[in-house]
Structure 1
């Protein structure tokens, strides 16, 4: 891994701390993300995923432990939150939480205008961000935001963050509400941004196909604790962890696990479609006896 652009050390957080309604959310979480990495955070509902990522751009500050973002220690007083939020762009799970202008173009331009950028550069950033997420500039810039579909609102929220050109992009369920075609298209655009622009990407998801497609590394959270991390191959190959914490797997992995349980010599960690296909095809090669017959 490269030198970390973001590190979390022994982070704990309790909502409504010091009141009778205290609700612990994180317990000693550790996490490190290298510059240019794509890291997925997975876990069941209530595991602390959203609370964790809210610490990355100062929506929450450490009560205990440390969060350091590109040299900025969020445990220290007098943090420059404007600078921090230019470095870390966070796209919420519900796009309505981030859209407040009447027109699409105005909403996406809001952040760059607040940065004091010239009008020409603001326009260029808005066009770039809209095209990146699949919203043609000339077609959507004057659309009313209230008239957009849920999927289109999600794209507008993402474009508004991308227009700030952050060093780290944090996504909470990035494709929720999108139809299959739009989901595939958006994931491809996000992957290209990570690979070609070296944008550090951190995303929370329940969709394991997205993890398999995008992630370099995966952190598994359960009950507010980081209980496992590794490459997608390592995580999907650890069936005990997945079962113990009710985490699903890509369909390719499930098929390979079923074959493995039946005694077939396959590697369940070969989660990518091409790798899984090679594993299955190897079982179909004639080897005598029941050659060519695979029972699952």
Structure 2
């Protein structure tokens, strides 16, 4: 993994409805750093500033105070090429309907590359590649009506549409919200493949601690518009005191170990992955 930061956010501030009775500070002195090739999770309660933060990553919002540097470019620079920035940093929002513009699946996935002025042959190749990455069969799905798709299929189409731009950074807001377990597992495995096999930098917002434990190299915890804690999943999920202090949800794996400890079993306190916890459980079973 490279040591270069591809995202550098320093002391970022943003206030909604400034100067009105409805003024609300969404971000205050927020700093986060993401290295090339990392998978970083941003967690925190609703209203903690997560969605406002990620909208600064591709220029949907510009800094009111502080600094946002994306791949060496300052997004406050008036001469920055926003179109180029948005090809570099693709955001997949929580509601896929917000990102589906065309009536046919193939046309929708092709929308971004086509608008970027790429040759038709390359657009077609990118569409085929992006659809295959998210598990949509090109021949079977390209002429399917987008309005008739299931929630899971719509999410895959929205993701494919962003991937067809070949971004360096993929940003996902609640990637599995509203999906059934099978679709959730498929999407998470696709995201992991993009990160590990395609070396794509991933930043995702989530309330689901299982998917955070599964995907993230590092975690930022936000509360009241700022970062209150950061670390690896092991550092975050095995620090019971901090988890309680910041009301961080507990992955099922960690909850199981806590219950075993409470019952008097000697199990590792620093395990959180399914593989590690399985070993601890088997150890308990083998001694009984």
Shorter-chain TM-score: what band? over 0.9
| Distance across 2 between alignment mates of 1:223 and 1:258 | 31
Aligned equivalent of 2:240: 239
| Distance across 1 between alignment mates of 2:276 and 2:240 | 18
Deviation for aligned residue 1:267: 2.7
Instruction: Give the secondary structure class of the aligned counterpart of 2:100.
Output: coil
Aligned equivalent of 1:122: 123
| Distance across 2 between alignment mates of 1:203 and 1:57 | 14
Query: Per-residue displacement from partner, 1:101-147 (whole Å, max 9, x unpaired)?
Result: 11111111010011111111101111111111121111111111111
Deviation for aligned residue 1:285: 4.7
Spell out the pairing of 1:84-123 with structure 2 (5 A cutoff). 84-123=85-124
Runs of 4+ in 1 over 6 A off after TM superposition: none
**Matched positions, count:** 287
Aligned equivalent of 1:42: 43
Aligned equivalent of 1:26: 27
Alignment check: 8 A CA contact 1:236 1:268 kept: no
Residue 8 of structure 2 is aligned to residue 7 of structure 1:
yes
Query: Per-residue displacement from partner, 1:236-276 (whole Å, max 9, x unpaired)?
Result: 01222222232212111001122334444323331111101
Aligned equivalent of 1:191: 192
| Distance across 2 between alignment mates of 1:125 and 1:8 | 31
Query: Per-residue displacement from partner, 1:180-201 (whole Å, max 9, x unpaired)?
Result: 1121122111111110111000
Instruction: Give the secondary structure class of the aligned counterpart of 2:162.
Output: helix
Deviation for aligned residue 1:74: 1.5
Query: Per-residue displacement from partner, 1:184-231 (whole Å, max 9, x unpaired)?
Result: 122111111110111000001111111111110011111111011111
Instruction: Give the secondary structure class of the aligned counterpart of 1:117.
Output: coil
Instruction: Give the secondary structure class of the aligned counterpart of 1:46.
Output: coil
Aligned equivalent of 1:272: 273
Spell out the pairing of 1:201-240 with structure 2 (5 A cutoff). 201-240=202-241
Return 15-24 or 98-107, whichever deviates more. Answer: 15-24
After superposition, the Cα gap between the structure-2 partners of 1:31 and 1:137, relative to the gap in structure 1 and judged at 3 Å, is: same
Instruction: Give the secondary structure class of the aligned counterpart of 1:57.
Output: coil
What is the aligned-residue RMSD (CA, Å)? Answer: 1.4
Aligned equivalent of 1:289: none
Instruction: Give the secondary structure class of the aligned counterpart of 2:197.
Output: helix
Give the TM-score taking structure 1 as reference length.
0.93
Give the TM-score taking structure 2 as reference length.
0.95
Return 55-64 or 253-262, whichever deviates more. Answer: 253-262
| Distance across 1 between alignment mates of 2:180 and 2:125 | 28
Instruction: Give the secondary structure class of the aligned counterpart of 2:21.
Output: coil
Structure number, greater radius of gyration = 1
